[in-house]
Amino acid sequence: MGLVIDIPAIQANWKTLAARAGSARAGAVVKADAYGLGAARVAPALYQAGARDFFVALAAEGRAIRPLLAEDARIFVLSGHMEGEDLQGLVPLLNSPEQFFRDRALRPRGAFGIQLDTGMNRLGLEAGEWAAIRAEALAAGPQLVMSHLACADEPDHAANAAQLAAFRQMTDGIAVPRSLAATGGILLGRDYHFDLVRPGVGLYGGEPFIEARPVVTLSLPVVQIRDVRPGESVGYGYSWTATRPSRVATVAAGYADGLTRALMRDGKLRLWAGDRSCPVIGRISMDLITVDVTDMPDPPAALEILNARQGVDAVAACGGTIGYEVLTSLGRRYPRTYL
């Protein structure tokens, strides 16, 4: 019952992706509370599996896991050195000349890395900025020089090769470990691997790592089951009306648990019991979802919305979004079990 998170599956996915990265070290991205699955549980498990390089978005996320990891684990902060931030024990990835000079002034011997922009125009130094501070930055001994791919989930997208070429041009010949690939980049092949890869979503069972072991099972308790006569309606707005004598189960989860109303967009969302499934009907409300179990005699006490048959990407597709968003939206109300 509730949200079951398969830690050995996360460890196995890390090992598979690490093997795909060949001789590059594999780090682990645990930002946004390890994509909603609980960084306090996930990060130590990935350390145990062999990861030593962790990536978070914000310094506060890094501070939260720092005491849980041994000293040889590095925690990189993707947002870099933001004003007023306590970065003790963390490695900011400096994104601008302003961040670089701030960091060097405030933490002259502090560990740091550099993030370069190679075309995504989101974070990182642009080529001209890098050229201007490069000598000084390299003299200060960065731990990592990295960039990020915008289109790695589309292997044929021209931006991949263009960003790779830009990264090479900005970093070839430097004696600092380099990193370009997240999950999608790992799957693009060796040219993209450099010295360190940064898988995130693939660890948690999401695309584009389609061979990932499923990580999340979410089963929702049935609160009650009722008979609904033809012509009767169900839920807010009476948006579903029975056309036959029906059995409708009401399960305990809703948009307050991250199961957004948009998941009803194409009417394809289903709940599962083993290999049987039934359609979700009506509107998703704050705490409740209704399911047409007419064709599922003896429905069990709980029905699954996420499992090996209907993973985070399948649910995401129902709502026109991506598995990342389904994961990071998973609610806090479910009882959580870690395998």
Ligand X SMILES: *Cc1c(COP(=O)(O)O)cnc(C)c1O
- Binding of ligand X by 148 (CB under 6 A): yes
Q: Is residue 264 a contact partner of residue 275, using CB atoms and an 8 Å limit?
A: no
Query: According to CB under 6 A, which one of 10, 34, 145, 182 is a site residue for ligand X?
Result: 182
229 marked as part of a ligand binding site: no
Cβ-based nearer residue to ligand X, 56 or 264:
56
Q: Is residue 249 a contact partner of residue 291, using CB atoms and an 8 Å limit?
A: yes
Tell me the C-alpha distance between 298 and 229, whole Å: 19
- Binding of ligand X by 200 (CB under 6 A): yes
Q: Is residue 116 a contact partner of residue 134, using CB atoms and an 8 Å limit?
A: no
- Binding of ligand X by 235 (CB under 6 A): no
Tell me the C-alpha distance between 2 and 5, whole Å: 10
Q: Which stretch binds ligand X (CB under 6 A): 192-200, 216-224, 246-254, 309-317?
A: 192-200
Cβ-based nearer residue to ligand X, 7 or 249:
7
Cβ-based nearer residue to ligand X, 99 or 250:
99
Amino acid (one-letter) located at 219: S
- Binding of ligand X by 62 (CB under 6 A): no
- Binding of ligand X by 75 (CB under 6 A): no
Helices (H), the chain: 7-20, 31-35, 39-49, 59-65, 97-106, 127-139, 158-171, 183-188, 312-318, 323-329
**Residues in CB range of 114: below 8 A, 6 or more apart:** 93, 94, 100, 125, 130, 137, 142, 144, 145, 146
Q: Which stretch binds ligand X (CB under 6 A): 194-202, 288-296, 298-306, 314-322?
A: 194-202
Cα separation of the two ends of the chain: 13
- Binding of ligand X by 95 (CB under 6 A): no
- The tokens for 92 are 């900011």
- Binding of ligand X by 199 (CB under 6 A): yes
- Binding of ligand X by 26 (CB under 6 A): no
286 marked as part of a ligand binding site: yes
Provide the minimum distance between the beta carbon of 148 and ligand X in the complex, in angstroms, as a whole number: 4
Cβ-based nearer residue to ligand X, 252 or 314:
314
- Binding of ligand X by 183 (CB under 6 A): yes
Other beta carbons within 10 angstroms of residue 10's beta carbon come to 29
Amino acid (one-letter) located at 239: S
Tell me the C-alpha distance between 172 and 167, whole Å: 8
Annotated active-site residue 236? The verdict is yes
Strand order in the sheet with 53-56: 25-26, 196-197, 178-179, 145-146, 113-115, 91-94, 74-77, 53-56, 28-29
What values do phi and psi take at 103, rounded to 5? -65, -45
Q: Which stretch binds ligand X (CB under 6 A): 39-47, 199-207, 312-320, 328-336?
A: 199-207
Provide the minimum distance between the beta carbon of 309 and ligand X in the complex, in angstroms, as a whole number: 23
Count of residues that bind ligand X according to CB under 6 A = 12
Query: According to CB under 6 A, which one of 63, 81, 193, 198 is a site residue for ligand X?
Result: 198
| Cα separations in angstroms, 150 against 21, 30, 209, 321 | 19, 19, 16, 17
Query: According to CB under 6 A, which one of 39, 78, 188, 248 is a site residue for ligand X?
Result: 78
Annotated active-site residue 192? The verdict is no
Cβ-based nearer residue to ligand X, 34 or 278:
34
Cβ-based nearer residue to ligand X, 31 or 247:
31
Catalytic residue among 47, 192, 204, 236: 236
- Binding of ligand X by 201 (CB under 6 A): yes
> Could you give the residue numbers annotated as active site?
31, 236
Q: Which residues are annotated as a binding site for substrate?
A: 122, 286
Positions in the binding site for ligand X (CB under 6 A): 29, 31, 78, 148, 182-184, 198-202
